[in-house]
Structure 1
Amino acid sequence: MTVSYSFMTSLPSYYNADENGAWAVNDGQANNFSSFSMQQSQAAIQALNLWQEVSGLTFVEDKSGNGQIRFGNAFNTIKATGWAQQPGDNRGGDVWLDKGDSRTDNPTQETYGFQTLIHEIGHALGLKHPFKDIDDTNDSPILTGAENSYQYTNMAYDYHPDMPNVEPRNPLLYDIAAIQYLYGANMSTRTGNDTYTWGVKSDGSSEFFGSDENFISAIWDAGGIDTIDASKQTLNSVIDLQPGHFSSIGNGTDNLALAFAVDKAGKSIDYNSLDKPDKIINLIENATSGSGDDQIKGNLANNVLNGGDGNDTLYGKQGDDTLDGGLGVDSAFGGEGNDIYYVDSFNDAVTENSSEGNDTVNSFITYALSDNIENLTLIGNRALNGIGNSLDNLIFGNNSNNNLSGADGNDTLYGGDDNDKLIGGTSADTLDGGNGNDTASYFNSTGGVTVNLSTGITTGGDASGDVLKSIEYLEGSEFGDILISDSQNNYLWGMGGDDTLIAGVGNDIIDGGFGNDSMLGGKDNDTYYLGGQFSTVSTMFHSYLDLIPSTQSSIECVGCNLIFELIRVGE
């Protein structure tokens, strides 16, 4: 809808002169007309543009002076800085500023004079006060408390309850809702990937798009992947990305509102009734806070929430969210969706409820997954350990030496680079060592295991159903195990129990551990460690053996020339 505006150059004829030659404006409340100055005209255009940004209105100047909204100055006898007529008769849409109030001389943004223009233009467009006017004969809605203040609407007279003497910089939460109800929403405002940012001046006050004062504002954003950036703040911030909710940034409390949600046709919609973001406009997706102890709340979208320094609390809400508390002791609650967490402190807390998606922790430290978290990735270059939980976990190591433990569940462990130890735990697990010399360990098994690296057969105890890939070393249990190597240079360690260890092709190391073990050598040069009192070593091939025997251990060579070196323990 197009609305024209003009700057009066003379008194319109529909205003009546009195017997003294003065003229009456708004029933005799003003006189001595004058045109807007250049500064006032520029401020009025800026205020109109702010209303245009949030509504379906387009304002066009009518230089003939016959615009639907007309601006002028006059002396006011009722102590009002400005006044305006609502749409209706000839005077409807006229906006006046008081010549007797110097605050209207240069009404720059975030001053009382500029807020007066926003307020009076609101009247010219059909908005009323949130309180009952003396001459209001209709049963208009009445707002009380904070809702009847600059926290919610420019149409109020009272300051924000926690921010006296701070003027709003643009139409506020209820202003946007009301104007969009009347004229629809502007679906072209900031449809790119926008960042709303604040700095901090030397006096500690906030900077918002060039302002050096505390601010009260509301955001209407019609599209894109957008960010609230309070990373330069040193005070505690609260950032709430839910439409119709308030954030607290800088010295302010509930001083930034996000406009209520509308659908793609620009019509108001109940945000709380939605479960997906694709039906909604005016979602801010991402938020970054500063060095204070901050709180960030997400929304339906796939949010990226960064806490920065400080002890922060992050709430992902719905959507597939990424939550990074940054430095400090942080708490993160992903909510519904497949969420990703970043952890850098042993005191960081990650909380997920049951059936809230498939979630991942990326950890810079040794980390054990808390309940209801499915996946873990170790990041960085340090040697770290990763521990799963009772779920079917997916655990990735980094490029250093890692110990990965799946615990219960059907887990998949990827060692990555370097030399890793993989402990699948109970149930059928997949152990993939990746690069390096990697170990599949069953030392926690409640029964003996059979693991054949050559055929892939895994049975017994915790090994039942396991799939092993890129595994060079095997570590048995405290029970009687059967461990069989493949064509690589393997290390077989029986640990406790009476084990059977069978070497294959390659230079293998066979360590029986405790118990009376049977060790069968293969081709190439194998090394045996005999721990049990009655351990035996047999070989079917020409082989070079290094032996560390115990008392009464026996060595047998069947059909071969055996060369061995006896290495006494302790030498």
Structure 2
Amino acid sequence: MQATFSVTDASGKVTPVTVSINFNHNETPNDGADPRDIITIGTTTASFNFEGKVYSFEVLGFRDASGNVVKTIYTNENASSSFDLVVKIVEGSGYELPQTTGNVLSNDLAGADGGLAVIGYGVGNNATTYSNGAGSQVVGLYGVLTILVNGAYTYQVTKNGSQIPADAREVFSYSVRDGDGDTTNSTLTISVNPVDSNGVPVYLPLTVDGTDLNDTIVVRNGERATNPDRLDVFFGGNLLGEITTSSGGTDRVHTGVSYNKGSSDQIISSGAGNDHVETGSGNDVIYAGKTGADGFGTDDGLQLTVDQLKAHHIMTGSLSGSDSILDADGLLLSVDVSSRYADVVNSGSGNDKIYGQSGSDILFGHAGDDYIDGGSHNDALRGGLGNDILIGGLGNDIMRGDGGADTFAWQKGDTTPGTLTKDYVTDFSKAEGDKLDLSDLLDNDGSKTESSLKGLLSVFQDNEGVHLQVKENSTAPVTQEIVLTNHTFDTLTGGSGTTATQVIDFMLQNNMLDIDK
């Protein structure tokens, strides 16, 4: 049998995929022990091209009445039945499976009765003891879950991204049996956050969607713009990017003007490549994407060093005066934005969110209360005026808050086991209300106390400044080091002859350091 499926991407583009499905139909005798007719589906795959990349399409089986995916279905004599076919797009050139993995038994102890084993699972949060066996596929709201006997699970998204709401969650219940035959039930909750190929949530209404080469996306006339809803765009390599037209539709162009229907708020994804993005007075959201691009180097190979980031004029210059990093329009100087190895972003005034994503980035919040996340690799983050949140992310990062009460934050996953990550904060100020926030890194689940975590910290001072070293547990080596440049123990506390212990206590007591939730 031939069937045609419609594959819809995050932009709404539909690609028809036709596959030949092989069935084995067993017409059983009516007077036999089981007179039901049996249909078994064979393995069915097809490949298709989408925008120059190859994807594979696989038919998994039928969805039965319990929501399970099965290869065989049964129909009673003189009856009819219908079943949905369940399909998925599997890995092809340039495509990664939208899936997550883990182990539901990773935090469980077997106890005196011996090893634990998963014996069944199903959809939803309930107290049912499942016995449908491990290894089968169970269909949830947005995807398919498989759990093995040893607790290892794989969850794969099968819904179109446009069908999954923001902050969607899947809940499954599973049953576990110990060596003595006792059973218990628990739940697995999975956050489902659909993203496009650039790692941008698909539910965001992008005003500009860039290309995989060097793009320039800049608000016309900067902070002096009469129409801050307009962006001049130049997409690299003669590739087609997507902009918003004056009528609110979308258009694919090499260069042009993007409009946001009278709103100065922009949502931009610049894609891969060394991009230059500057927005104006709105509350903007900017995703800088990868730095590398196919045929033009990788993020690892192009990564800037800490010394290069420290010395960059966007990090060393002033916000006004003769050494200003800004021109009369509030845009970055042209000499500072031409980088072969980094994305450069200025989010302008307004309360903005900047995500550096992968590769080296130089990210400037300008004015307003901004949220700046460097992502992976070595980055430089500068808040500008306002009460900003700066997160360096993976890599060795340089951070400068400028005016306002700024929070420099470290999150779980920002370090690499066995590797020392060293970040620099170049203008930490107690007088302005600055703070180091390690609570997510050290107390992600909120189960610990400040007193129990304080032993994971140590400090020393040298000609670089004050170094705060962090272990993530008592037996681990130091994996995170934070250097507060231009400081000594005494300048941090305002005292004289301050000891290392006194520095940590002073910072905790004066809201300069958070370590627990």
Q: Which structure is richer in relative contact order (CA contacts within 8 A, separation 6 or more)?
A: 2
**TM-score of the superposed pair, with normalisation by structure 2:** 0.30
Which one has the bigger strand percentage? 2
Task: From the CA coordinates, give the structure whose radius of gyration is larger.
Answer: 1
**TM-score of the superposed pair, with normalisation by structure 1:** 0.27
